[in-house]
Amino acid sequence: MLLVWVYFPKFRIKFNFSINAGGGKILLFFNRSILIIFISFLISTSSYAQDWIVAGKRGIMTFVVVSKEREKDETVYKEAIQSLCTDNDFCKIMFWSNSSDVPTSWPMNEHEKNSKVADYYHNGNSGEVKFIFKYSNDR
């Protein structure tokens, strides 16, 4: 029998499980509330993964495509920013809702500039943060 501990420090969740190698069964031991929280986390994480994708990068800039169904939902952009801007250095993310509008060469043409739905910039040295959201007045 093998006893395994899994610990997610960010979420303060511990899982203890044992594997019975002889019978090939996995027995999980944790209370029901932790299981519900963990499953909810997995479901919410997988739904966000479908709401935006990284379409490309150029230097410090990251190009992201947001699903058309969620393009007016500011939480999708915040989740992408949180996921992509992990250090306190520089971070620049530009968002589009149509993958064909993402620039393939530089500089961007007028159509590519005008079709952006959001723009995020963070300067870790100065602390400057800018978030421009095309639909901020559509609520």
CA 131 → CA 81, 118, 128, distances in Å?
10, 7, 10
At residue 41, the pLDDT reads 46
User: Strand order of the sheet with strand 13-20?
Assistant: 2-8, 13-20, 25-29
Nearest to 19 by CA among 6, 32, 33, 31: 6
Nearest to 53 by CA among 122, 121, 102: 102
Q: pLDDT (tens digit, 0 to 9) for every residue of the chain, 139 residues total?
A: 444 445 455 444 555 555 455 554 444 444 444 444 444 444 444 444 579 999 999 988 999 999 999 999 999 999 999 999 987 789 999 999 999 999 988 899 999 999 999 999 999 889 899 999 998 775 4
Residue in this structure with the two tokens 């029901």, named with its chain if needed: 32
State CA 35 to chain mean position distance. 23
What are the structure tokens assigned to 116, written together? Answer: 């952006």
At residue 16, the pLDDT reads 54
Report which residue type is found at 11.
F
CA 43 → CA 49, 51, 69, 72, 84, distances in Å?
10, 13, 18, 21, 20
Q: The pTM is what?
A: 0.63
At residue 48, the pLDDT reads 46
Q: Which residues contact 112 (CB under 8 A, 6 or more apart)?
A: 101, 102, 103
